[in-house]
Amino acid sequence: MTNNDPLYIYLISQNTNAGYDTYDGAIVVANSFNEARSIHPGGYEDWINEEWHVKSWTTPENVQVQKVGLLKELTNLLDKDPKRKEETQYKAGDIILSSFNAG
């Protein structure tokens, strides 16, 4: 990966774990489909003690991933908003928005 690799926005979701205190999806920034599916919507590290955070999410192979578009297109739109005071700076692995079902 180089600094010139494009970043994409992905919608990640899961429907295998639908209980209380779970995430059902998120909008994330990643370089690839596989990178997107390894992002936890809560911002946790990918693996902790070799165990995925399956109580609040699911395993990577159960994550559905849909490419939304190029990150550059979104940031160009946001940065043109006169109400914004600073440029938008996202990097691979960032979570733009997540959906959590509190119980």
Which is more confident, 94 or 103?
94
Rounded alpha-carbon distances, angstroms, from residue 98 to 35, 40, 65, 92: 16, 9, 14, 16
Q: Smallest Cα–Cα separation from 60: which of 52, 70, 68?
A: 52
What percent of the chain clears pLDDT 70, i.e. is strictly above it?
A: 74
pLDDT computed for residue 8 by the predictor: 95
Strand partners, 30: 8
**What one-character DSSP code corresponds to residue 45?**
-
Provide mean pLDDT across the span 37-49: 74
Q: Is residue 8 classed as helix, strand or coil in its secondary structure?
A: strand
Provide mean pLDDT across the span 52-76: 84
| Residue 53 pLDDT exceeds 80 | no
| Residue 47 pLDDT exceeds 90 | no
Q: What is the phi-psi region of residue 2: left when phi exceeds 0, alpha when psi lies from -120 to 50, beta otherwise?
A: beta
